[in-house]
Amino acid sequence: MKAEQKSLFDTDAPPWQLDAAAEQYVAQVAVAAGPVGVLDYVVPEAMRDEVQIGTRVRVPLGRGNRRVTGYCVGLQNVCGTTRRLKNILQVVDGRRLLSPAMLRLTKWMSDYYLCPLGQVLETVVPAGVRGSAGTRQTTILSVPPAVRAGLRDLKLPKKQAAVLEILSRQGTPMTPAQLAEAAGCTTAPISALRRKGLIASQVQRLRHQPLETADQPVEPYRELNDQQHVALQHILKVLRGGRHETILMQGVTGSGKTEVYMHAIREVVSYGRQAIVLVPEISLTPQTVSRFRKRFGAVAVLHSHLSDVQRHGHWEQIASGTVPVPVIVGARSAVFAPTPHLGLIVIDEEHENSFKQETAPRYHAREVARQRAIDEQIPLVLGSATPSLESYYRAERGEYLRVRLPHRVENRPLPAVNTIDLRTADAERYSRGAISRQLHIAIEQALSDGGQVILLLNRRGFSTHIQCPSCGKPVTCPQCEIGLTHHKHQRQAICHYCDYRTRVPDRCPHCNFSGVRFLGKGTQKLEEEVASRFPNYQCLRMDTDSMQRPGSHEGALARFRQGEVQILLGTQMIAKGLDFPNVTLVGVINADSALHLPDFRAEERTFQLLTQVAGRTGRGPRGGHVVVQTLQPEHPAIQAAVAHDYEAFAAHELPTRKLLGYPPYGAMIRIVVRSSQADHGIALAGQLAEQLQLSADEQRVALRRIGPAPAPFAKLRGKHRFALQLLGREPDGLRSVVRQATKGLKTPGDAQWIVDVDPLDML
């Protein structure tokens, strides 16, 4: 990481002129700009007190001495150096933005995810905190106690005496403007007093806006059942032992995992410590938050829709420790909450992909949380009905402690799941719609019994592709070479990757044939079909198109909860975490839509999605069942979901992973090259492959390389994409190979490469 400032040697000052015995106070500064990592700078004498580890500083960078901001991440006295270092120019913040623990964590991230430390810090410290959003800097004046004691003996000009008199009578600090107004004078006498040292001044940040006040905790704790009790005891044992352990809580949907988290948090809070609860962004609804607020009162919520001011407010409140914030609930980035007294981290639905950030640093909150928990010697609890195979495997190997909750609360049964074979069902359909005859009957039955229905279709839009029957070519995005989706309501053809939009073509753009076909079914089409099949019931569609306005998601769920809406249909947005006791039927329109994507986790995702959506029913006393339409009812992933059998799925999937050396059996690093010109991309990818091989040979690291080859999405947003994957048994060795191979790599044209450690996105 540490780069030498070679360009800084001053040619007209030969090294022997430097005083070799002189001691220099040197700061290591991490800058976000450029590929460099951490650079050394001299701390000028006058800044010695201000520059601390964790404060930001302005430094000159490169030959042009461009001024950039960086974080001081280390300080040391260096004796007899022969290097000529530049000086720090200025201290940016009057306080540290990073605690020592957070600095250790970010250094680990930089190393693990092969990302410059400055860039990691940029992610970890929110922009609102860096910019001190919502606060302004103000000078405040006070009379030092010694001056106050000898006030009567002072001989001062009349104006100055009056000013000093007013300020000392005031008792509380005042700004120069307030004081001038109170004394009816200009600021000149005030400045004179400050120069004489008779008035002390201090720069402070004042908050513009008070923080929202928290609800009072009201809800009583439920008495835990036996399996919950056992799970809690495992967590408490680790907690009371003051040590780290990762606990995988593998509990079926509705087994009361959340209740166990809350009991554990209660204990943590009773020690005066704090807990961080990470949930997928999509589950961060007011209902989820209020569940925690009702128990713990002051709960800070950190999610991606916060304004800079709000985020900064929460951050300060959490960090200060003066206003107690016992619980922080948030999405991925809440793992960086600056809690001074952290006692526990919980990750609910730990298998969710949204815990991985898809831009640099491409970190996974689960791994970061684990590192933080090890460092702070606290337990980490991972909860899921369908743990990621990575976590499952670690539990199998004894790296994680596993607790199981195999039953739902109050011994409610898991819903019965039936599959409908779409290959044979076709013939018996009422229409050529998306809903088979059997599913139609099941919906009718559920509705007439007063129940509610959830329908899952994981494709948004109306028709999922547009194709010419004459030349056979699909209508694709000019930026992405991906088929456009027909959105009937907007009357547009839309690219689901770059959001390119165009009028729906009535002629084929390739052969000009009039009469292009709209094929495939999206949620908009399903909505139309449901409305025409069940005209006496209210139906509501939930996908990213219908949920764009802020609050629409909560509004929709509230209408469903109140029973105003009987049929809720949508994409995976509706599959996760919802707890509606009156849902007696879940229908899956097409279970195999994601089964054959070119991604080694396609089956795992399908299994997870089916299990999660099935878990939305049978949560109340009325019970419930699930109907799954599929072209492959015999597929092991679908069979395992039908049987609610996680172990069967793992037993089917793990041997394949092992055979191919895929995670969890090996580490994986993915490198993607992007370029607007294909040949530049190919050249860079080829060069990378060569360098990787050289480094691997040199370091004697055994690895398997896949590619370079065009990525499954070969062109996105106008950039050609080439991917290569590295697989190996030693994660550190793999990282070290990539580090060496990418050092000083020249990139042709606008070609770029990105490194993704433990990638989840293979497309």
Residues of this chain, 162-181, that bind Zn ion according to CB under 5 A: none
User: Closest by alpha carbon to 611, among 622, 623, 620, 603?
Assistant: 603
* Closer by beta carbon to ligand ADP, 69 or else 384: 384
For ligand ADP, the closer of residues 254 and 707 by Cβ is 254
Residue 336 CA to residue 105 CA, distance in Å, equals 9
Measure the CA–CA gap between 215 and 458, rounded to whole angstroms.
37
* Residue 501 near ligand ADP by CB under 6 A: no
Q: Per CB under 6 A, which region of 185-193, 248-256, 270-278, 374-382 contacts ligand ADP?
A: 248-256
What single-letter amino acid sits at 491?
R
Residues 402 to 421 in contact with ligand ADP, rule: CB under 6 A = 409-410
By CB under 5 A, name the one of 374, 498, 519, 594 that touches Zn ion. Answer: 498
The contact mask relative to ligand ADP for 559-598 (x = CB under 6 A, - = no) is --------------------x-------------------
- Picked from ligand ADP, Zn ion, none, the partner binding residue 256 (CB below 5 to 8 A depending on kind) is ligand ADP
**What span, in angstroms and rounded, lies between the C-alpha atoms of 204 and 94?**
9
DSSP SS3 for 594: coil
Helices 646-660 and 602-614 pack at an angle, to 10 degrees, of: 170
Q: Which is nearer to Zn ion, 111 or 481 (CB)?
A: 481
Choose one: 152-160, 254-262, 710-718, 742-750; the region binding ligand ADP (CB under 6 A).
Answer: 254-262
Nearest-angstrom CA–CA distance, 567 and 563: 9
User: How far apart are CB 259 and ligand ADP at their closest, in Å?
Assistant: 4
Report the partner that residue 500 touches, choosing among Zn ion, ligand ADP, none (CB closer than 5 to 8 A by kind).
Zn ion
Instruction: Please state the separation of Cα 73 from the chain's center in Å.
Output: 24
Does 480 bind Zn ion (CB under 5 A)? Our answer is: yes
User: Residue 111: exposed, middle, or buried by beta-carbon count in 10 A (0-12, 13-18, 19+)?
Assistant: middle
Q: Is 514 helix (H, G, I), strand (E, B) or coil?
A: strand
Residue 645 within binding range of ligand ADP, rule CB under 6 A = no
For 350-368, b/e burial (b = at least 16 CB within 10 A) is: bbbebbbbeebbbbbbbbb
Largest CA distance in the chain: 106
Contact (Cβ atoms closer than 8 angstroms) between residue 474 and residue 519 = no
Two structure tokens written together for 527: 């909505």
Instruction: Find the binder of ligand ADP among 40, 122, 245, 259 (CB under 6 A).
Output: 259
Residue 258 lies near ligand ADP (rule: CB under 6 A): yes
Q: Which residue's CB is nearer to ligand ADP, number 4 or number 219?
A: 219
> Which position among 54, 126, 254, 681 is part of the footprint of ligand ADP (CB under 6 A)?
254
Under the binding rule (CB under 6 A), the answer on residue 366 touching ligand ADP is: no
Decide whether 276 or 477 has the Cβ nearer to Zn ion: 477
How many residues touch ligand ADP under the rule CB under 6 A: the total is: 15
223 secondary structure, DSSP code: P
> Does 475 engage in binding with Zn ion (CB under 5 A)?
no
Q: Which is nearer to Zn ion, 343 or 483 (CB)?
A: 483
Beta bridge partners of 138: 204
Looking at residues 39 to 98 of the shown chain, list those that interact with ligand ADP (rule: CB under 6 A). Answer: none
Please state, in angstroms and as integers, the Cα–Cα distance from residue 725 to each residue in 277, 571, 594, 610, 647, following that order: 33, 30, 21, 29, 28
| Residues 69-128, interacting with Zn ion (CB under 5 A) | none
Q: Which long-range contacts (CB under 8 A, 24 or more apart) does 142-148 make?
A: 142/167, 142/173, 142/174, 142/199, 142/200, 142/202, 143/167, 143/168, 143/198, 143/199, 143/200, 144/197, 144/198, 144/200, 147/197, 147/198, 147/199
CB of residue 393 to ligand ADP, shortest distance in Å:
22
When the beta carbons of 31 and 575 are compared against ligand ADP, the nearer one is 575
308 three-state secondary structure: helix
Residues 205-224 that bind ligand ADP (CB under 6 A): 222, 224
* Length in residues, the chain: 763
Sheet holding 501-503, edge to edge: 485-487, 492-494, 501-503
What SS3 class is residue 71?
strand
Q: How many helices (H) and strands (E) does the chain have?
A: 22, 29
**Binding partner selected for residue 479 from ligand ADP, Zn ion, none, CB under the kind-specific 5 to 8 Å limit:** Zn ion
Q: How far is the CB of 253 from ligand ADP (least distance, A)?
A: 5
Q: Of 407 and 657, which CB lies nearer to ligand ADP in the complex structure?
A: 407
CB of 271 to ligand ADP, least distance (A): 23
Q: What is the contact mask toward ligand ADP in residues 655 to 674, using x (rule: CB under 6 A)?
A: --------------------
504 DSSP 8-state letter: P
Residue 250 in contact with ligand ADP, rule: CB under 6 A? no
Nearest Cα to Cα of residue 299 among 333, 339, 252: 339
Smallest separation (angstroms) from ligand ADP to the CB of 525: 31
CA distances from 677 to 497, 673, 680, 717 (A): 20, 11, 6, 12
For residue 678, count CB atoms less than 10 angstroms from its CB and return exposed for 0-12, middle for 13-18, buried for 19 or more: middle
Residue 259: name its binding partner from ligand ADP, Zn ion, none (Cβ under 5 to 8 Å by kind).
ligand ADP
Q: State the CB neighbour count (10 A cutoff) for residue 67.
A: 11
User: Contact region for Zn ion (CB under 5 A) — 32-40, 150-158, 257-265, 471-479?
Assistant: 471-479
Q: What is the nearest approach in angstroms of Zn ion to the Cβ of residue 304? A: 23
329 binds ligand ADP (CB under 6 A): no
Residue 255 found at the interface with ligand ADP (CB under 6 A): yes
- Decide if residue 225 touches ligand ADP (CB under 6 A): yes
The kind and range of the H/E element at 641 are: helix 636-642
Q: Does 228 bind ligand ADP (CB under 6 A)?
A: yes
Position 349 contacts ligand ADP (CB under 6 A) = no
Query: Using the rule CB under 5 A, which residue among 477, 682, 684, 751 binds Zn ion?
Result: 477
Closer CB to Zn ion, residue 480 or residue 583? Answer: 480
257 versus 719: smaller Cβ distance to ligand ADP: 257
Find the shortest distance in angstroms from Cβ 258 to ligand ADP.
Answer: 3
Q: Is 541 helix (H, G, I), strand (E, B) or coil?
A: strand
The single residue among 248, 495, 516, 539 that binds Zn ion, judged by CB under 5 A, is: 495
Q: Which residues are at the interface with Zn ion (CB under 5 A)?
A: 477, 479-480, 495, 497-498, 500
Binding site for ligand ADP (CB under 6 A): 222, 224-225, 228, 251, 253-259, 409-410, 579
